[in-house]
Amino acid sequence: MPDDLLNLLNRFARFGATPRGGVRRLAASAEDGAARRAFAEEAERRGARLHADPVGNMFATFFTAPEAETTVLVGSHLDSQPTGGRFDGTLGVLAGLAAASAIHARGVRTRHNITVANWTNEEGARFQPSLTGSSVFTGKMKLAEALALEDRNGRTLGAELEAIGCKGTSPLPLRPVRNLELHVEQGDHLETAGLQIGAVTSSWAARKITIAFIGEPSHTGPTPMHRRRDALRAAAAAITHFHGVMEAAARAHLLHWSAARIVAEPDSPNVVASRVTVWFEIRNPEHAITVQAGDGFMSSLKPEMERQGIAVEIVRDEHRPGTMLDPGGVEQVIGVARDLGLSATRMMTITGHDALMLQAIMPSTLIFIPSVGGLSHNEAELTHDDDIRKGCAVLEAALLRFATEPHGG
């Protein structure tokens, strides 16, 4: 069934489909719920047993080693950006399902069982921070904290998971020995270099700073200009300042940065904004550089904000030092690709992935396949069928190796 995965991808692209070929499947939304149910049904149909943990992570286990209490995880996430692409995350879950069920169907006995995972709220579009499900799984985030996360409308992740019937009660009963994830690159390195497979060695560091600018609400008409403490103006000045500081720092270092989310209150056209929150990100291969760039931004920001009568509140300052993935896994992927006659390279990832989070508690491996034009978080996100077939072949071969070797290879 070489095109099993392509058929699955087409089918799942219908859950939350957008007019221009993307998907809108925000974490724990009705669309996410529909995709989760379809995943559970399809996995059960193929012989897997389903389990959901208390943060809604889904595990579909194929008991290829019925006596073992261990398992190898393979998966990604089914949630998407508000208008996201249909490959980001979904590819990894469905490729995991296709590969695991193919191994299972061949009646292969392995040393460890195989569990296909769908991690909750990887994207962080609806609930911040991102990687919620895998963070709780590794113990980095407390379950209660995750369930209490609120979206823009004050709905909690816990209540929304209940509402779509996806909140389990107990942790995964098997001991995972290894994790494997296939993902689209979301950059254009593979495409530009003409390569087919990327074995990810490590990730860029990221510093994510959420800042609230606090002024005072007043009437946008009569309030004299010099008396206004306008939080939206302050936020705009901060964004342009941030851009300037980062541009200057980028002359010395390879920096990527963004301010991509803004929430203004009370958000009425004729009230001067009293509180505006902005989400900033700084990324570089080196953790120290992201720290230094962030410090430079924040220390130069405060005096200017004080001059405008604006208080600055650091709501969250999250350091994500780069993660080094299991080197053995990288070599396995390179070896598998070579055996299959595919061109492969070792590379870094700039984006965050569940596989990076899971490396905290087990050897973890991340495989990239090319993204057309490097475009992602966009409805037009595309990976060619042929690249998907090759990626799935590498995933299946690597998965089989990991599941049959002691300690998961």
Partner 1 sequence: MTLIRADEALLARLMEEQAACAATADGGVNRPALTAGDRVARDWLRARFDALGMRTLVDGVGNMLGCLEWAGPGAPWIMTGSHLDSQPNGGRFDGAYGVVAGLTAAAALKEAVAEGRLKPRANLAVCNWTNEEGARFQPSLIGSSVYIGGMPLQEALAVKDAEGISVGAALDAIGYRGAAVLPLPAAFVEMHVECAPDLEQDGLRMGPFTRYWGATKIRVRMTGLQAHTGPTPMERRRDALLGAAYLIADLKELCAEAPDTLHTSVGRIEAYPNSPNSVVSEATMWVELRSPAQDVLIWAEERFNRALETAAQRSGTIGRTLHVECRKAGVFDAQLCNRVEAAMAAEGIAGRHLSTIAAHDAIRLAEICPSIVVAVRSIGGICHNAAEYSTPEDLAAGAQVLVRVLSELVASPRP
> Segment 236-255, which members bind partner 1 (CB under 8 A)?
236-237, 239-240, 243, 250, 255
Residue 75 · residue 29 · CB < 8 Å: no
**Following DSSP, what letter does each residue of 108-174 receive, concatenated?**
---SSEEEEEE-TTSS-SSSSSS-HHHHHHHTSS-HHHHHT-B-TTS-BHHHHHHHTT---SS--SS
Return the residues of window 92-151 that contact partner 1 according to CB under 8 A: 123-126, 128, 130
What is the smallest separation between the CB atom of 227 and partner 1, expressed in angstroms? 7
Nearer to partner 1, 239 or 342 (CB): 239
**Strands of 197-203's sheet, edge to edge?**
49-52, 58-62, 113-118, 70-76, 175-184, 364-369, 197-203, 344-349
What is the smallest separation between the CB atom of 58 and partner 1, expressed in angstroms? 22
232 scored as a contact of partner 1 (CB under 8 A): yes
297 scored as a contact of partner 1 (CB under 8 A): no
Cα–Cα distance for residue pair 170/24, rounded to 1 Å: 29
Question: Which of 66, 154, 194, 224 is close enough to bind partner 1 by CB under 8 A?
Answer: 224
What is the smallest separation between the CB atom of 257 and partner 1, expressed in angstroms? 8
Residues counted in the chain: 409
Backbone angles phi, psi at 246, to 5 degrees: -70, -40
221 scored as a contact of partner 1 (CB under 8 A): yes
59 scored as a contact of partner 1 (CB under 8 A): no
323 scored as a contact of partner 1 (CB under 8 A): no
Q: Coil, helix or strand for 52?
A: strand
What is the smallest separation between the CB atom of 32 and partner 1, expressed in angstroms? 15
29 scored as a contact of partner 1 (CB under 8 A): no
What is the smallest separation between the CB atom of 388 and partner 1, expressed in angstroms? 19
Cα–Cα distance for residue pair 55/118, rounded to 1 Å: 11
Residue that has been written with the tokens 């405008």 in this structure: 308
Residue 395 · residue 325 · CB < 8 Å: no
What is the smallest separation between the CB atom of 261 and partner 1, expressed in angstroms? 5
Site string for partner 1, 182-201 (x = CB under 8 A): ---xxx--------------
Backbone angles phi, psi at 206, to 5 degrees: -135, 145
Range in contact with partner 1 (rule: CB under 8 A) among 258-266, 285-293, 330-338, 383-391:
258-266
Return the residues of window 201-220 that contact partner 1 according to CB under 8 A: 204, 206, 208, 210, 216-220
Question: Which of 19, 66, 194, 222 is close enough to bind partner 1 by CB under 8 A?
Answer: 222
Question: Which of 107, 194, 269, 406 is close enough to bind partner 1 by CB under 8 A?
Answer: 269
170 scored as a contact of partner 1 (CB under 8 A): no
Produce one character per residue of 363-402: b if its CB has 16 or more CB atoms within 10 Å, e if not: bbbbbbbbbeebbbbbbebbbeeebbebbbbbbbbbbbbb
Cα–Cα distance for residue pair 123/146, rounded to 1 Å: 14
Question: Which of 82, 168, 171, 335 is close enough to bind partner 1 by CB under 8 A?
Answer: 82
